[in-house]
């Protein structure tokens, strides 16, 4: 498949050939012809409001606010040590964006779109400008050799000042337990991989403050957490874990009541066979929280972070013999850990969805878990996101991808594992007794992608469709949008043409819809040829373009977003 614009129908039978074409495109280094630089460099804050130019139709029922967040600027000039350069994209200084989709009654057939943005980490930037280096733990930033181990230890083991936080991953609107500021439960919350949440004013995007998980419950005193907290779609209860480093590290899986804000520890896991690991998301079913500990284990029980000062560099070399550990925690009846199992070594950033089914085994009804995520063979994908590689500075990407064939390990595959819980509901006595889950299906790139989303009405329920951003080997980032049918293995692939790079989509359902895919998906796309971005609105069923709202400037590539519908 080439860079031709359009929507392409692909079947399960096309999958092997399309993947081979992806490999051929990477080997041929066609990504050299795909401009992405404007999404990473020279980014400007637009506090707005700015009216974007709408072409086509953005349906009135999609009216609301689309919030997005992610890395913004990647350098700080004029510090005492010269220009400070951020080395890894995940460490780019936080920048949030707001797109108001407004529908005015009358003759209008489409929403208008008003844009604004705000840097969330200006205090952090000012701190770096004054000091010349970054304090606090980074994701992949190389440690400053002038900062000694004792300084690092003092930073890690005291509550981090706001100048050390850079939350740039996941926005979440309103949550009990975080009542800071005038808007209280309507605040915009921004999460990252630390145990600190930043609150923003949803109208202005101005920072309000930081709240550590220890404010929710005194036991949540660990340093790391999960950027993708899970939320019960019916009760508003939300779930996460807190990881505390020690000789035997401790995971605490917890629930925050969606009505009262009361926090409950569902399980405390301190087991010498459960390593501390980098975990970006977790799984939620109707009755269980499922924690997957991938093969991204920290060395020295996590103490390597003190030396490396970087989460990424503190991770052990990938070991194909180190399986992913899965832990199932009851979230309804206080039973704690009810089961554990393994899957082969691998890595993932994002879970898609998970749900339960009732099956019969030996005449007994049992619960079967379905756990779906966008998975990678190993940890190579995290190397792709160094700016040198994303921008192919001095041929860095060519060396990494082509000479080492890292591209083979850096494309995601949509995978669903199934696991049947024991009849007794009691956990396996040891990991040696833990069973391995069954791989139900695997859909290869480009017929599946990363940053996967579903119709949110199907969260914790059986779903069929997944929308993601994918690559055909034409870009060092993403080059297409894909809709994957998990029942047939077929896919629809949208391409905007050469240089049109999409970001994660957000699904907005049509009011009263009965079909799972009846709605639209919204994405922010960079036209790298012009250096301009636009809000893209696609029919979620067909991936045909309905409309777009164009800016005359580039908008930073974001990580994640959330749509808040207008109240009628």
Instruction: Pick out the residues of the known binding site.
Output: 228, 280, 350, 560
Structural Rg of the chain based on CA atoms? 23
Write out the binding residues for Fe cation. 228, 280, 350, 560
Cβ neighbours, 10 Å, residue 374: 25
Nearest residue to 113 via CA among 551, 566, 506: 551
Structure tokens given for 511: 């009011």
Q: Which two tokens stand for residue 484?
A: 């994957």
Tell me how far apart the alpha carbons of residues 547 and 198 are, in angstroms, rounded to a whole number: 33
3-state DSSP call for residue 131? Answer: helix
Provide the 3-class DSSP secondary structure of residue 547: strand
First and final C-alpha spacing in the chain? 44
CA distances to 46, 190, 212, 413, 506 from 96, rounded to whole Å, are 10, 9, 20, 29, 16
Per-residue exposure over 557-567, b if at least 16 CB sit within 10 Å of its own CB, e if not: bbbbbbbeeee
Do 467 and 430 contact (CB within 8 A), yes or no?
Answer: no
Is the C-alpha dihedral spanning 61, 535, 46, 191 positive or negative? Answer: positive
Q: H or E stretch including 389? A: helix 387-390
Q: What is the DSSP string of 31-88?
A: GGGS--GGGTSS-----S-EE-EEEE---GGG-EEEEEEEE---EEEEEBTEEEE--B
Residue 462 CB neighbour total at 10 angstroms: 12
Greatest Cα-to-Cα distance within the chain, rounded to the nearest angstrom: 72
CA distances to 110, 111, 112, 344, 509 from 105, rounded to whole Å, are 10, 10, 12, 55, 20
Provide the CA 229 distance to its chain's centre, in angstroms: 10
């Amino acid at each position: 498949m080439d860079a031709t614009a359009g929507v392409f129908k692909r079947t399960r039978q096309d999958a092997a050939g399309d993947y081979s074409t992806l490999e051929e495109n990477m080997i041929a280094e066609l990504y050299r012809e795909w401009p992405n630089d404007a999404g990473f460099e020279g980014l400007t804050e637009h506090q707005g409001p700015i009216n974007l130019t709408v072409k086509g139709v953005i349906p009135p029922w999609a009216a609301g606010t689309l919030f997005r967040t992610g890395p913004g600027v990647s350098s700080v000039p004029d510090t005492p040590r010269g220009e400070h350069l951020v080395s890894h994209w995940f460490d780019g200084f936080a920048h949030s964006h707001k797109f108001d989709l407004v529908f005015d009654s009358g003759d209008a057939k489409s929403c208008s779109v008003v844009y604004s943005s705000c840097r969330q980490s200006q205090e952090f930037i000012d701190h770096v400008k004054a000091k010349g280096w970054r304090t606090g733990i980074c994701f992949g930033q190389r440690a400053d050799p002038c900062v000694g181990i004792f300084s690092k230890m003092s930073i890690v083991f005291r509550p981090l000042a706001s100048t050390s936080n850079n939350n740039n991953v996941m926005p979440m609107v309103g949550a009990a337990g975080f009542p800071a500021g005038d808007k209280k439960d309507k605040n915009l919350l921004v999460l990252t991989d630390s145990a600190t949440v930043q609150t923003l004013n949803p109208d202005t995007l101005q920072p309000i403050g930081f709240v550590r998980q220890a404010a929710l419950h005194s036991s949540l005193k660990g340093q790391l957490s999960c950027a993708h907290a899970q939320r019960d779609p019916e009760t508003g209860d939300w779930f996460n874990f807190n990881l505390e480093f020690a000789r035997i590290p401790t995971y605490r899986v917890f629930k925050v009541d969606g009505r009262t804000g009361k926090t409950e520890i569902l399980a405390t896991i301190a087991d010498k066979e459960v390593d501390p690991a980098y975990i970006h998301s977790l799984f939620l079913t109707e009755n269980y929280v499922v924690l997957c500990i991938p093969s991204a284990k920290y060395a020295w029980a996590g103490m390597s972070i003190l030396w490396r000062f970087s989460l990424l560099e503190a991770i052990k070399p990938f070991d194909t013999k180190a399986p992913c550990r899965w832990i199932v925690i009851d979230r309804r009846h206080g039973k704690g850990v009810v089961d554990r199992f393994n899957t082969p070594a691998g890595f993932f950033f994002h879970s898609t969805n998970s749900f339960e089914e009732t099956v019969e085994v030996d005449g007994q009804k049992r619960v079967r878990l379905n756990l779906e995520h966008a998975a990678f063979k190993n940890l190579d994908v995290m190397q792709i996101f160094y700016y040198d590689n994303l921008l192919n500075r001095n041929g860095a990407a060519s060396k990494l991808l082509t000479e080492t064939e890292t591209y083979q390990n850096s494309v995601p595959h949509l995978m669903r594992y199934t696991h049947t819980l024991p009849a007794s509901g009691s956990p396996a006595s040891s990991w040696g007794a833990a069973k391995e889950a069954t791989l139900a299906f695997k859909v290869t790139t480009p017929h599946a992608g990363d940053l996967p989303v579903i119709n949110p009405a199907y969260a914790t329920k059986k779903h069929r469709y997944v929308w993601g951003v994918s690559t055909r080997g034409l870009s060092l980032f993403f080059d297409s949008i894909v809709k994957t049918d998990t029942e047939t293995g077929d896919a629809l692939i949208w391409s905007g043409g050469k240089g049109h790079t999409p970001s994660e989509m957000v699904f907005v359902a049509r009011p009263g819809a009965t079909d799972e895919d009846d709605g639209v998906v919204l994405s922010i796309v960079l036209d790298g040829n012009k250096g301009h971005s636009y809000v893209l609105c696609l029919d979620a069923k067909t991936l045909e373009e309905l409309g777009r709202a164009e800016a005359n400037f580039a908008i930073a590539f974001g990580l994640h977003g959330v749509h808040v519908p207008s109240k009628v």
